Structure 1
Amino acid sequence: MGRNRLAEERSPYLLLHAEDPVDWRPWGDAALEEARQAGKPIFLSIGYSTCHWCHVMHRESFLDADVARWLNEHFIPIKVDREEHPDVDEFYMTAVQAMTGEGGWPLTVFLTPEGLPFYGGTYFPKTRRFGRIGLLELLPRIVELWRTRPEDVRRVAENARRGLRSLFAFEARPLEEGLVDEAYRALRREYDPVHGGFGTAPKFPLAHRLLFLLRYGAEKKEPEATVMAAESLRKMAAGAIRDHLGGGWMRYATDRAWRVPHFEKMLYDQALLLYALAEAAAATGEATFRDLAEETVAYVFERLGAPEGAFYTAEDADVDGVEGAYYLFTPEEVRAVLGEEDGALFSAAYDIGSPGPIEGKSAPNLMRFEPKALQDRFGLSEAALFQRLETARKRLRAYREARHRLFVDRKILSGPNGLMIAALARAGELLGRPAWVARAEAAYRFVRERLTGDDGTLYVRYIDGERKNIATLDDVAALAWGALELFFAAQAPAYLEEARRWVAYADARFRAPEGGYRHTAAAGPGGVSVRKAADGAIPSGNALLAFVRAHLVRLLGRPEDAEALEALFTAFGGRAFARPAEHAFLLAARLVVEGSGAEVVIVGEREHPATAALVRATREGYRPHTFVLVRPPAGPEAEAWDRALPDTAAMRPVGGRPAAYVCRRMVCRAPVTDPDALRAALAEAT
């Protein structure tokens, strides 16, 4: 079999299709111009390398000679890696969701030669099944429709274009004072009190919603919000969505109880769950959440860590075409590895039943774990039980890794790396892990050096020395968040300047005249610009930018920042009012500026014991909206602080001792040098 036009690409996903009989073109001006010149419709297929159903459609249809014949003769077939082209994916995903009410990957879209969508869906089988029309039935219909009724097709495409424009032409209205409370009430209505999380199935972690609940609970003194977030994390951690042998988190569960996961592991999920786990550890004091954060970081460093310091994109779900085969066991297989007694113990503890719920097999989980019952059944003390299970986990993990090795997509993406930088910095700060902060700094350096052009332009992805495709708002906002969290974790004012730089970058390239920010600098096909603040699997770029800008308002007190933030809130106020739960992260940004947090500036040498004692006093309890800044009293570092935060320039030690200034919006109390006095001042201020 020959190689098609994808053979020169570097995307692992596109290279998977480089030997298809379909004559795929990569997305770009050349393919679009070819479609216009030929007057042929475009068959657009969007996916990514760790997507199970993308692999299924590949095997069934894109390796099939009959399907390839239809596509090659009658269409311009274009294949897109959604992670390389988030702009293309976002535009056409929004279009298909508007046309059909469903979305997901693989995304399949039929376009006019001008690039306007007129029909689409997700997975299509080769022949009709699962209640879905097959490609060998659908393709001839589309060809005949285009041949006999092209004006009708163009009319449908034009209506789709108008619908998309109206979709993003929503009402501007100020965020009302009680909208944050309404978002909490909406999440409470959606909350699953039995299994945690939100809704029924499929069920996604939605860690940004958990972050909103943790911060809302602390700010509003609403313990139920904290309970909802913490219990969701506990239930997920017990479920099969967590990899109990190797660490890390699957993308989502296909059932309500987290027992049947969709097995791919994405960098962005690890990042957002790490951030939520660190905040849950601070909010509850539970060691479980700290342990889960440690486990997550260990997985990310081992499996997704790039030697240059940044992080790879994802780990695949499939082995030899079977989704989850790497993770699944039968009781017989467990006994063969561990022996009869340890095999029976592990299967009882980790819910390895016969038959299991996934093609007769099971993914280890702790949903039915009852330590006391197992101690009695196997005659073990509590310590012996957990020691035996730990040994069993290690042996099964070694067996699993010898049995298979999962594919890792080694693209380095700016946006997901920004999220992981933010998470490592925040978790390192909250959990006292400076090595995590250092790794976040290394990843940030990589993005600045390898994914940023000489003119300051940020790019989407890096592979083997090549950066490609100009970044979207989501990517830029994620890097701004990463820089902001590094400022707090590393106490280095250069990172505050970096956060401001990324915000200015977004202002210059993405700000929309009608308010808020566009997903891309240029409009999409038909002059349509995607503009939204609702969260998906991750927070939207507008919400992330609002979160960062809210911190800048508090730190710098500049009127232009406050005005820009309020304009951003107002741009999406109508949508947030209609669907508050879907805008949880935007409203988390609102909590930053509305909340009772203080700014604490500790002036002293960082290594001085008295400085450390003051810092420890600020870490007691969970105050997510209190900012702690530690600036040196003199020297070049102090001058850098003066430039970045001029309001701190006059702050000095008191009587030769490190001093803490407790401020509200930079209106400060008299400095204190005693940790108990600092605790009292914080209690009064917050």
Structure 2
Amino acid sequence: MSKNSKANHLINSSSPYLLQHAYNPVEWYPWGEEALKKAKAEDKPILVSIGYSSCHWCHVMERESFENDSIAALMNKHFINIKVDREERPDVDQIYMDAVQAMGQNGGWPLNVFLTPDQKPFYGGTYFPPQGWAQLLQNVAQAFATKRKEIDASADQLTDALSTSELIKYNLTSNENGFSKEQVDSLYQKLLKRFDKKRGGFDRAPKFPMPGNWQLLLEYYHYTNDKAALDQLILTLDEIAKGGIYDQASGGFARYSVDADWLVPHFEKMLYDNGQLLSLYSNAYKLTKKPLYKKVVEQTVEWLQREMAEGNGGFYSALDADSEGVEGKFYVWTKAEFDDVVGKNSGLLSKYYNVTDTGNWEHGNNILHMTASDEQFAQKEGVTIEALNQIVNEGNELLLAARSKRVRPGLDDKVLSGWNGMSIKGLCDAYDAFGDDTFLELAVSNGQFIKNSMIEDGKLFRSFKNDKASIDGYLEDYAFVIDAFVALYQSTFDEVWIQEAKILMEYINTNFYDSDENFYHFTDNQSEKLIARKKEVFDNVIPSSNSQMARNLYVLGIILDNDTYKSRAHSMASAVAKLCVEEPAYTYNWCSLNSMFAYQTAEIVIVGNEAEKFREDIASRYLPNKVLLGSKQESELPLLKGKSLKNGQTTIFVCYNKTCKLPVTDVESALKQLK
């Protein structure tokens, strides 16, 4: 095993993931013209290896295979080797992930795909152990040399399949029929069958937090008062918050738990998970007022500030699962270590966090987690909640201080615009729920960072590192940044954010929109042309870029009184309506939008000197199907024009589809008018 003293072609990359491989003996290239031209000139197959900096099995395969001189020699002899950071190039990742799945393989990372010299895939897989990888390299090289015609024919066929639009593949066509309340009930019943009634989440392992699915439950309860939906949501959020998947000492959520009990995390922390979970726990708090959810939000924002802040307003992308080559080493404790750190309160805190002599994980280590609520634990141990909170907070501070002396996990220090958009939305939702000015200040600072450092002439860039924005933004970046800017407007009534959102929307409509299918491409018209140009439809761990765009069109359409935007949103959502009922777990954001149509969206307009105070009061309630607008003085926004004060007092107008109820001068009266 070795790391070269001489760097390969990745050495000038901005991506932390590519730089991790810059001294492998493999002659890696970044994805780009140099490598692709070389493959054609030498008529060699291309090996594309895709991963990301906090991917545990990517590191394992690097240690076992890509630092192995004999394996590297095989790769260099037979292939043009290209490394891709999936977080920088989701367009490349999307195409070749689809290809591997079309071959009948499970997808995942590292993703290793073999291509013809013209970038067409013919074989691939995920992680391979070193012996199997070496054998595969030889087999593929031999097949390419002796069965070229068959390989080219197979690659052509697969590429044709990859180029087929998702809308054609799934027969998604707009229809004029609106989404009904009965369909909202049907999709909930479909979700209900998949729930784990004991531990929350879906009934499977490993367990991934799926914020969009749980948000759908919250909304369904709001519309129907179905207690079973609320109970399932509370069970899920409680179990996640008490589990090892949540960093009990520091705040922040890991990517997923490998077990069904949310205990053993895959320790990497991703910004996109945490942004969405901030929104979810904040919204759940508005409804339940559970102290646990407040604690989770406050701790997680502190973690963002402490460990993920870039310094000028942006947030970094991810923290690695590994430190010193060992997964989770930074986060776990032996009983002796734990007792030594927390001192006099170790007896109580060991029970609280379930720390034992034998350990609750491997090698005698303990993953901190809770098995009871604070109220239950305090009662059992005969202490007050106040005393328990003080002991836990002091213990956490000691644990964090001790942990700060350990070797830290790797930090992916690029700033991604779309993921930061999700963080802004999470912080705005947290501000609305708790009224903490720190949350709003962080959100505004993050928005200003994107506005000033990642947008140029109406065009958004995806990545920022080393004081430079790079890589054309993808649809998901625009979608989540527009959502963030709209959230900033509704949390501040500062109209600059609506103007910024409108500029980005106009750019997308010019450069991403496909008028034939009425959906958006994932990539800009101006960007590099790949073997397929995809449209992302299905929601996954994050909402699909098209579902988020449809929501943006609808909400911005209301705020700007733009019927074209609203009509396009309806058309897009109606095309996916059938799938919503059949597969709500993978269309949850579409389901949420269709539910908004079924139950009608409230336009709440506040005018007058106390507009901000009234806004805070209304925003602190859980009212998911609303758009908030307001101003102390004159405004050019269409829904604010002609709205005058009643008897000189700050006035609230509750409207549906531009038809308003009688103006009122207090929040409680406005709430009674909401359907």
User: TM-score normalised to the size of structure 2?
Assistant: 0.93
Larger deviation: 586-595 or 379-388? 379-388
Check if 1:649 corresponds to 2:647.
Answer: no
Q: CA deviation at 1:561?
A: 1.6
CA contact (8 A) 2:163 2:532 kept: yes
**How far apart, in 2, do the equivalents of 1:617 and 1:69 lie?**
66
**How far apart, in 2, do the equivalents of 1:544 and 1:100 lie?**
29
Q: CA offsets per residue over residues 312-370 of structure 1, 9 Å max, x none?
A: 1111111111010011112232233345x643433322122314323442210002678
User: 1:199 corresponds to which residue?
Assistant: 203
CA contact (8 A) 1:206 1:537 kept: yes
Gaps of 5+ in 2: none
**How far apart, in 1, do the equivalents of 2:484 and 2:612 lie?**
25
Q: Identify if the C-alpha distance between structure 1 residues 554 and 359 changes in structure 2 by more than 3 Å, giving closer, same or farther.
A: farther
User: 1:448 corresponds to which residue?
Assistant: 451
Q: CA offsets per residue over residues 532-567 of structure 1, 9 Å max, x none?
A: 321111111011111212212333443212221122
Q: CA deviation at 1:113?
A: 0.8
Check if 1:460 corresponds to 2:462.
Answer: yes
Check if 1:411 corresponds to 2:410.
Answer: no
User: 1:483 corresponds to which residue?
Assistant: 485
Larger deviation: 660-669 or 269-278? 660-669
Find the residue that maps to 1:327 and give its secondary structure: coil
Q: CA deviation at 1:227?
A: 2.4
Larger deviation: 363-372 or 247-256? 363-372
Q: 2:152 aligns with which of 151, 154, 164?
A: 154
User: 1:189 corresponds to which residue?
Assistant: 193
User: 1:668 corresponds to which residue?
Assistant: 660
User: 1:630 corresponds to which residue?
Assistant: 630
Q: Identify if the C-alpha distance between structure 1 residues 88 and 184 changes in structure 2 by more than 3 Å, giving closer, same or farther.
A: same
CA contact (8 A) 1:601 1:630 kept: yes
**How far apart, in 1, do the equivalents of 2:338 and 2:112 lie?**
40
Q: CA deviation at 1:399?
A: 1.4
Gaps of 5+ in 1: 128-133
**How far apart, in 2, do the equivalents of 1:98 and 1:590 lie?**
30
Q: Identify if the C-alpha distance between structure 1 residues 630 and 514 changes in structure 2 by more than 3 Å, giving closer, same or farther.
A: closer
Check if 1:315 corresponds to 2:319.
Answer: yes
Alignment of 1:339-358 (within 5 A): 339=343, 342-353=345-356, 354-358=358-362
User: 1:131 corresponds to which residue?
Assistant: none
Q: Identify if the C-alpha distance between structure 1 residues 74 and 613 changes in structure 2 by more than 3 Å, giving closer, same or farther.
A: closer
CA contact (8 A) 2:458 2:503 kept: no
Q: CA deviation at 1:576?
A: 3.6
Q: What letter matches 2:348 in structure 1? A: L
CA contact (8 A) 1:116 1:525 kept: no
Q: 1:561 aligns with which of 549, 560, 565?
A: 565
Q: CA deviation at 1:596?
A: 4.1
**How far apart, in 2, do the equivalents of 1:557 and 1:375 lie?**
55
Q: What letter matches 1:510 in structure 2? A: F
Find the residue that maps to 1:100 and give its secondary structure: coil
User: 1:144 corresponds to which residue?
Assistant: 142
User: 2:301 corresponds to which residue?
Assistant: 297
Q: Identify if the C-alpha distance between structure 1 residues 17 and 621 changes in structure 2 by more than 3 Å, giving closer, same or farther.
A: closer
User: TM-score normalised to the size of structure 1?
Assistant: 0.92
CA contact (8 A) 2:605 2:652 kept: yes
Alignment of 1:223-372 (within 5 A): 223-339=227-343, 342-353=345-356, 354-367=358-371
**How far apart, in 1, do the equivalents of 2:377 and 2:524 lie?**
60
Q: Identify if the C-alpha distance between structure 1 residues 58 and 600 changes in structure 2 by more than 3 Å, giving closer, same or farther.
A: same
Q: CA offsets per residue over residues 403-454 of structure 1, 9 Å max, x none?
A: 232322110111101111111122212321233222212212211222223x
**How far apart, in 1, do the equivalents of 2:125 and 2:243 lie?**
31
Q: Identify if the C-alpha distance between structure 1 residues 41 and 478 changes in structure 2 by more than 3 Å, giving closer, same or farther.
A: same
Alignment of 1:536-555 (within 5 A): 536-555=540-559
Q: Identify if the C-alpha distance between structure 1 residues 156 and 311 changes in structure 2 by more than 3 Å, giving closer, same or farther.
A: same
Q: Identify if the C-alpha distance between structure 1 residues 570 and 515 changes in structure 2 by more than 3 Å, giving closer, same or farther.
A: farther
**How far apart, in 2, do the equivalents of 1:427 and 1:521 lie?**
33
Q: What letter matches 2:159 in structure 1? A: R
Alignment of 1:106-185 (within 5 A): 106-127=110-131, 134-166=132-164, 168=166, 169=168, 170-173=170-173, 174=175, 176-177=179-180, 178-185=182-189
Check if 1:498 corresponds to 2:495.
Answer: no
CA contact (8 A) 1:350 1:368 kept: no
Q: CA deviation at 1:386?
A: 4.2
% identical aligned pairs: 33
Q: What letter matches 1:648 in structure 2? A: L
Check if 1:659 corresponds to 2:645.
Answer: no
**How far apart, in 1, do the equivalents of 2:15 and 2:359 lie?**
39
Q: Identify if the C-alpha distance between structure 1 residues 599 and 574 changes in structure 2 by more than 3 Å, giving closer, same or farther.
A: closer
Find the residue that maps to 2:459 and give its secondary structure: coil
Q: What letter matches 1:669 in structure 2? A: K
Q: Identify if the C-alpha distance between structure 1 residues 124 and 376 changes in structure 2 by more than 3 Å, giving closer, same or farther.
A: same
Find the residue that maps to 2:355 and give its secondary structure: coil
Larger deviation: 654-663 or 111-120? 654-663
Q: Identify if the C-alpha distance between structure 1 residues 344 and 630 changes in structure 2 by more than 3 Å, giving closer, same or farther.
A: same
Q: CA deviation at 1:487?
A: 1.0
RMSD after superposition: 2.2
Q: What letter matches 1:160 in structure 2? A: L
CA contact (8 A) 2:48 2:114 kept: yes
Q: CA deviation at 1:245?
A: 0.8
Q: What letter matches 2:669 in structure 1? A: A
